[in-house]
Chains A and B, each alone.
Chain A
């Protein structure tokens, strides 16, 4: 198996490293402090081509491989997790449904601005009464006046409420009456559509630079041209894009683990207690060695899932495994890295504290880790 990067993947990694270190690392922490989505940085990433990373050139993207995307994420996430989180939500669930299931007119209208980095994409699935249990969503679209009338509420939706957002692609039930065989479909609802409103930006433990909100749909009417893909296949369509989302969260987790490992190692080598750097204590060394080893294990699970997608193989199981492993490692490593920093690690003045706050959500978003267990167990025949 060959995981070495192609020339264009290498070029992409250098570009991301430079931009992440020179621009994101310096500017994003302030946005996190102020709980503001740094759309200025996202627009600049758009100009570099990064917002269309997984979309072919035909639709304004750069047509990068999934392996290249993981490698790019490792660089972006090292600098800031909120920016990386907003980026990945845009790239995967925000853009892929339009690319994979939209028709050419829809791709031209909504996908191209996303891929060219002029707008930010969002997907609305989760509702107050339906998270893991996707089929439990209540938002409903019914036939009306040659189009669709949408009513319902979405919650925890990323990227829909920024000054760069175009609106949202959402999943709604479409069976004509209750009690009928359930059917689901995806619709685009642009911002400023009458009846579409939003709550304030929610306050998370971490990812404070990510814009996450409640979305409300009260008699929102959209034309047939806003229906994405097969009106009955919306759910399975969306679940397919989630598979890529899992690789993406795994990659984001890798970057977090690398970041906290670097910080903890640097700190351990310079912090002196009992007359020597604490890195000389075996208890500290073993923590660092464990983090490094677990990171490497999760890294290769993630690259393998990405590689399978690139070669057209099934990757459902591998993507779930990568997400499960890498996010667990990240949350654990962040806690250990704070421990190595002692009291300083607890203070938000220290970057490791920010990454610690950002780590928990990795075990929740894009399918909780319990749901990853279910997916993996199902592939085992349970």
Chain B
């Protein structure tokens, strides 16, 4: 079974980010890393391919400046190869443009039975890309999977709900977004890290995918960032000193909030 995993490479969340004052977008300088949310999809794919007794796990990513650092991490975990779309024309791409690019890249990878994504990215978190990819490919979309199984060409997931989970079945090929915790991602081994350096990364541009630059980036975006404001500072809370009646005031406060 061949599985494609969409992996986003993002600025290290541990490093404080900065916005470009002109475009109001995140400064993407320096090394990007594998979005931790996507490490679950990579692990799930490796386990599914293993269980199926073979097949390739291919990474699909769109990122600026031919960035491969995050891809190398996922390749070190065991993925076989990657398709990376990088093009200055992609700057400013909204979620739909991103999905168009990723869908084309999946088609380019060829012969894919299953696409895995995270439910939302750590930095953009619109949570819309997985459904859009499925729509563009014309494949079923299954979301919020906390358990994934493939048997005899049939896909079964447990879809996380507030109350528990729904069991959802589908034919293949399909697009599945997996939650954090679907599986425990492995640490890349030293041998994996060394091997990853020589695994193939198919680097391509918007034109290579047969897309027009007008459909992506700032020109294709259906969204515009008009202004950005700092989040308001949190106001100081109310201090309740116990003079014997503190419990009454706390109860009154919680009632006002309608939490009790």
Which A residues fall within an 8 A CB radius of B? Answer: 8, 11-12, 15, 18-19, 44, 47-50, 57, 62, 64
Contacts and interface: CB of A to CB of B under 8 A. Distances in A.
B194 A15 contact: no
A70 B200 CA distance: 32
A58 to B, nearest CB: 13
B189 A47 contact: yes
Contact of A62 (B186, B187, B191): B191
Given A8-B194, A11-B194, A49 B189 contact: yes
B187 A18 contact: yes
B124 to A, nearest CB: 25
A48 B189 CA distance: 4
A48 B194 contact: no
22 contacts: A8-B194, A11-B190, A11-B194, A15-B187, A15-B188, A15-B190, A18-B187, A19-B187, A44-B187, A47-B186, A47-B187, A47-B189, A48-B187, A48-B189, A48-B190, A49-B189, A49-B190, A49-B191, A57-B191, A62-B190, A62-B191, A64-B190
Nearest to B196: A11
Nearest to A44: B187
**SS class of chain A's interface: helix, strand, loop or mixed?**
helix
B39 to A, nearest CB: 12
A44 B187 CA distance: 9
* A44, A49, A50: most-surrounded residue (chain B CB, <10 A): A49
B49 interface: no
B193 interface: yes
Contacts of B186: 47
Contacts of A8: 194
A50 B190 contact: yes
Contacts of B189: 47-49
Given A11-B190, A62-B191, 20 more contacts: A8-B194, A11-B193, A11-B194, A12-B190, A15-B187, A15-B188, A15-B190, A15-B193, A18-B187, A19-B187, A44-B187, A47-B186, A47-B187, A47-B189, A48-B187, A48-B189, A48-B190, A49-B189, A50-B190, A57-B191
Nearest to B72: A11
Contacts of B187: 15, 18-19, 44, 47-48
Contacts of B191: 49, 57, 62
Contacts of A44: 187
B260 to A, nearest CB: 36
Interface in B26-74: none
A301 to B, nearest CB: 27
A64 B187 CA distance: 19
A46 B186 CA distance: 13
A63 to B, nearest CB: 10
Contacts of A12: 190
Contacts of A19: 187
Nearest to B193: A11
Contacts of B188: 15
A17 B191 CA distance: 16
Contacts of A47: 186-187, 189
Contacts of A11: 190, 193-194
* B189, B190, B193, B194: most-surrounded residue (chain A CB, <10 A): B190
Nearest to A46: B189
Nearest to A22: B187
* A11, A18, A64: most-surrounded residue (chain B CB, <10 A): A11
Contacts of A64: 190
B72 to A, nearest CB: 10
Interface string B167-205: 000000000000000000011111101100000000000
A49 B192 CA distance: 9
A243 B244 CA distance: 70
